[in-house]
Amino acid sequence: MTKRETGAPGTPDGPVGGSAEVSAPTRAFGWTLHGDGRRIGEGEVVAPGERLTWPRTVGIGMQHVIAMFGATLLVPTITGFPVTTTLLFSGIGTALFLLITRGRIPSYLGSSFAFIAPLTASQSSGPAAQLGGVAAAGLLLLVIGVAVKLAGSRVIDAVMPPVVTGAVVALIGLNLAPTAVDSFESQPLIAGVTLLAILLVTVLGPGLLGRLGILVGVVVGWVFAAVTGGLAEERVTALRDAAWFGVPELRGPTFEWSVIALTLPVVIVLIAENVGHVKAVSAMTGRSLDDVAGNALVADGLATTLAGFGGGSGTTTYAENIGVMAATRVYSTAAYWVAAATAVVLAFSPKFGALVFTVPNGVIGGATLVLYGLIGVLGVRIWMDAEVDFTDPVNLTVVAAALVAGIGDLTLTIGSVELGGIAWGSVGILVAYPVMRRLARFRKP
């Protein structure tokens, strides 16, 4: 999810050993067989440059597809983007990520929840302008990735300390709260069933099932809606008429400054998600990956840019798939190639896309009530992990102003450009924090 979204580093088995000490691969292909390819020894992991037998690798790859499915498809379902197109660029983006990081970072690039807010807020501008915002965010992330490659990953902490990153992530999630409530209220019974299913599966579901709470909840909500007549008849008709095979819908972007300004703050979230993913994988595999953090940003930036120019939603590294790796102790990038190929194949089924589009507003409301809150809480977690001091008046006041601007959706117009709460809150803290921090040096004790 959001990183979204990256879980705490480490595996249930503690520090890794065994094959984790093998030197890191420097290419995207050419995996060595781990042991006999069938078993993983106690305390061992299957490293990124290794694989199990191909049947087992394909099976684990399918698990990655299941893990990313709910979140990746929920974003286009909420924003109205073509599902199959988003899935296509998700698979292509994953393949690019594996190539650009030279097979050293196992990751699936799914739809980023961070884009939901600007895409929802800019719906009146039309899909082409929305795609322009996605493409612009991708280009900026790509440029930042190049800068990190040249200057080193520590430059990120210098420019965007945790107090800033946490605030932007939190306000992006909380800015969406009214949208989730509106969807919930449109079909309260269906939304309530969906929400209850998500909570029960997340809390009580064992292992991987517990990590698929959103997907299971959406399926339960959809079935309940179908039984109670809550599905839109025109969407059900479109599902019946949809072909089993077809080419995903491709469309190009247009660029409007108001939409771009609304979307660019998402880049901060993407940076946090990508860097967090790199650090988590590094901890779980027992090898430093700081030298390829810039590559990861470049790869996600390129994938998001391509999605924007082709009609898909922006991408990010997925913590859902980190859960699969932690559970299986298999970090082989071969499994991710299987997942990427599967996503591309599914993208060529309009019937599949039409099925996802039948998900009613009540189900979306029940799911987003949790998802948007998770994005907001992620910002809080960033503060907690970094032990941000909120007795410091600079941290306290700047963050407070930024959060209220985002949550209240402060909207002001400059010339012909209208900017909403996400833009003002993000820009405000990015500018105000370093200025206030410098001014605080002149404060007398």
Token output for 162: 């945790």
Would you say residue 298 has pLDDT above 80?
yes
- The CA distances from residue 379 to 95, 162, 163, 235, 277, in Å, are 29, 9, 9, 36, 15
The whole-number average pLDDT for the span 217-231 is: 87
Top-confidence residue, 310 or 169: 310
Strand 50-51 relative to strand 32-33, pairing: parallel
The whole-number average pLDDT for the span 276-281 is: 70
Q: Please state, in angstroms and rounded to a whole number, the distance separating the CA atoms of residues 273 and 279.
A: 10
**Hey, which of 85-89, 139-143, 186-190 has the most confident mean pLDDT?**
139-143
- The CA distances from residue 404 to 48, 65, 171, 407, in Å, are 43, 37, 8, 5
Alpha helices in 311-360 (DSSP H): 319-328, 333-346, 350-357
Burial annotation 291-327 (CB, 10 A radius, 16+ → b, else e): ebbbbbbbbbbbbbbbbbbbbbbbbbbbbbbbbbbbe
- The CA distances from residue 290 to 14, 35, 52, 293, 428, in Å, are 21, 28, 26, 5, 30
Token output for 70: 């709910």
8: left (phi over 0), alpha (psi -120 to 50) or beta: beta
Top-confidence residue, 371 or 407: 407
DSSP string, 10-46: S-TT-S-BGGGGSPPP-SSS-PEE-TTSS---TTB-B
- DSSP H/E element including 50: strand 50-51
Top-confidence residue, 73 or 139: 139
The amino acid at residue 325 is M
The whole-number average pLDDT for the span 248-275 is: 83
The whole-number average pLDDT for the span 216-235 is: 84
Q: Please state, in angstroms and rounded to a whole number, the distance separating the CA atoms of residues 273 and 1.
A: 10
Let me know: does 285 contact 329? Beta carbons within 8 Å: no
Q: What angle do the packed helices 361-386 and 54-79 form, to 10 degrees?
A: 110
The whole-number average pLDDT for the span 256-268 is: 84
Burial annotation 341-376 (CB, 10 A radius, 16+ → b, else e): bbbbebbbbbebbbbbbbbbbbbbbbbbbbbbebbb
pTM of the predicted protein model = 0.66
Please give the share of the chain, as a percent, with pLDDT higher than 90: 13
Would you say residue 27 has pLDDT above 60?
no
Would you say how long the chain is, in residues?
445
Residue partners of 244: CB distance under 8 A and separation at least 6: 349, 350, 351
Would you say residue 221 has pLDDT above 80?
yes
The pLDDT value given to residue 153: 66
Place of tokens 């959103």: 214
Would you say residue 317 has pLDDT above 90?
no
The pLDDT value given to residue 377: 78
The whole-number average pLDDT for the span 308-320 is: 83
Q: What mean pLDDT, rounded, does the chain reach?
A: 78
The pLDDT value given to residue 204: 84
Place of tokens 């690039």: 109
Let me know: does 232 contact 361? Beta carbons within 8 Å: no
pLDDT in tens, 17-26: 343 333 444 4
pLDDT in tens, 30-71: 788 877 777 777 777 777 778 888 888 887 787 677 667 667
Q: Please state, in angstroms and rounded to a whole number, the distance separating the CA atoms of residues 290 and 63.
A: 27
Strand 315-317 relative to strand 32-33, pairing: unpaired
Q: Of 130-144, 227-241, 278-292, 431-445, which gets the smallest average pLDDT?
A: 278-292
Would you say residue 4 has pLDDT above 50?
no
The pLDDT value given to residue 263: 86
Would you say residue 225 has pLDDT above 60?
yes
Top-confidence residue, 52 or 295: 295
Alpha helices in 187-287 (DSSP H): 188-204, 207-211, 213-228, 233-241, 257-263, 266-285
Would you say residue 28 has pLDDT above 60?
no
The pLDDT value given to residue 13: 37
The whole-number average pLDDT for the span 376-394 is: 82
Q: Domain ranges in the chain?
A: 48-388, 391-444
Let me know: does 367 contact 218? Beta carbons within 8 Å: yes
The pLDDT value given to residue 207: 59
Q: Of 86-90, 111-115, 306-310, 394-398, which gets the smallest average pLDDT?
A: 111-115
